[in-house]
Chains A and B, each alone.
Chain A
């Protein structure tokens, strides 16, 4: 390996691209599942629903205290066994690596998003709730039209930062033998012996996508500081 030869990257591009697509679709799916569940979890804690909020709090604490890679293993091996038991014949029912990854990332991120949203809910001024009461808005309308939109706006930079981390974490799916961007680069690097070029190329893609997203975060921050209207 004497000089760098990036033509190899160009040749490998279709394979890298399919890896990148997996990374991106996992990110998007986990984001959607995570935000939906995370918002629900945050609301459960916000309303202090007796037993449920205890359960959610433990779940969040658990997910935030163990490594993601361990959770991936858990789900990969545990969910088939549980499904097998539920179905009655006791034999494990494989869920497939893609579904495992999707469910795991979604559930794992839900813990993080719920913490962000929970803090955001606490930051909403008491007067906003009183104004909603005075206007006879239902609890659903209050949260749907007044409280949550404000929370999402205030928290959007942090939510996006967490999503950038999520995007990078999707590289862990190699433990399930899935081929994401990094996995694709890694396989090709082993195959053709061009480790430096392949890893540099993968790093460049992560760098570009993450910094574009960070720019977007910065512009969001600015926009909500101006017309976004927080006193």
Chain B
């Protein structure tokens, strides 16, 4: 880091505030009146059937999807149409995609260095040190010179996590990070995410990995048809969900 941040007056406030969020795709209501608050250090697992709006919700948080109505405030900055606001939010929000989305023409370490160099303006040596440190953290530093296509899916996803962490985000969003992986590779990615959670990172994860949810989530949020239907701590939610829709969903994913 170039300099230590001054005391952030927003530190007492939640990391993310989502109020009355509405997002439409044409005539389809992807999100209708969603309210969600993510506290600092909180780990939230978003689950729900496909098309329930969970991916759309987290994609709105870093403005990859533009919301139609409502308010999103991330670390004290409200997302408006202003590029400056959008970029300052995106700098603090790391994202991991289902399909990894690594840059295929850049080596693993170059993937990790690009944004710190271009966006944070770090000098080359510092960006390299940071990238190697984070690649070591996700246990993939020995592959730093390789290209993404030479790695397994699990390895690629761990690189994607390291790449996001290189921006030193305050919150990490995970959009079904293990859904595109072969079963034997799911574990290595989940382990990395658990470590990250144990380090105190604020996390919002869209995932159907219920073991992961039980282990790290402070709160499970269940969505259906573009609304939050139910939320609660994982043990209660998994043992005795309040709503019929959640019960049906849990039954389906267990089998």
Contacts and interface: CB of A to CB of B under 8 A. Distances in A.
Contact of B119 (A135, A153, A227): A135
A138 B149 contact: no
A228 B105 CA distance: 7
Contacts, number: 75
A135 B105 contact: no
Interface string A125-145: 101101101111110010001
B104 A134 contact: no
A135 B163 contact: yes
Contacts of B104: 150, 228-231
B246 interface: no
B62 interface: yes
A interface residue count range (under 10 / 10 to 19 / 20 to 34 / 35 or more): 20 to 34
A121 to B, nearest CB: 15
Interface residues of B, number: 28
A133 B149 contact: no
Contacts of A127: 97, 99-101
Contacts of A229: 104-105, 147-150
B48 to A, nearest CB: 21
Interface string B61-74: 01110000000000
A153 B105 CA distance: 8
A66 to B, nearest CB: 36
Interface stretch (B12-20, B88-96, B130-138): B88-96
Interface of A: 125, 127-128, 130-131, 133-138, 141, 145-146, 149-150, 153, 227-231
